[in-house]
């Protein structure tokens, strides 16, 4: 098994429980580590044998853009489902969603979800 990691992917979206959060887009930073079987890609050097990172993040961005979330926990769970739907080669997802300025005087607040495909 190999790991593909995308660090601190930045997106703005409407998220939160407070009235001002329901109208003003906020910054989120998402780090995703995917356990993927990349052995064929390491030999073939072909994109078709691995996960297309750009297409993957476009897919995840569309999931986030088309839904409204109050909690980063719910957003993370929806992203994990979207990642597993995207490719059968993804066996495990470790996602951390960070929401800067969620708590005054804290640099960021984050939620981490680790899930195997079998769950």
Give pLDDT tens digits for 57-80: 999 999 999 999 999 999 999 999
Domain 2-116 has CATH 3.30.1130.10: yes
The token duo for 79 is 């992203």
Q: Which pLDDT belongs to residue 44?
A: 96
Q: What is the pLDDT of residue 102?
A: 87
pLDDT at 119: 58
Low-confidence ranges of the chain (pLDDT < 50): none
User: Which positions ≥6 away from 118 have C-beta within 8 Å?
Assistant: none
Residue 72, H or E segment = helix 72-86
Contact 30, 96 (CB under 8 A): yes
**3-class DSSP assignment, residue 10:** strand
The answer to whether the beta carbons of residues 14 and 68 sit under 8 Å apart is: yes
**For residue 108, what pLDDT is reported?**
94
Given this model, what pLDDT does residue 101 score? 83
């Amino acid at each position: 098994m190999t790991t593909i990691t995308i660090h601190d992917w930045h997106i703005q979206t409407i998220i939160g429980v407070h009235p001002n959060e329901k109208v003003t887009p906020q910054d989120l930073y998402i780090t995703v580590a995917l356990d993927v079987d990349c052995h064929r890609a390491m030999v073939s050097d072909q994109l078709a044998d691995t996960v297309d990172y750009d297409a993957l993040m476009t897919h995840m961005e569309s999931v986030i853009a088309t839904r409204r979330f109050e909690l980063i926990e719910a957003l993370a769970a929806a992203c994990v489902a979207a990642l597993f739907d995207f490719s059968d080669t993804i066996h495990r997802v470790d996602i951390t969603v960070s929401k800067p300025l969620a708590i005054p005087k804290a640099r960021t607040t984050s939620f981490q979800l680790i899930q195997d495909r079998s769950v």
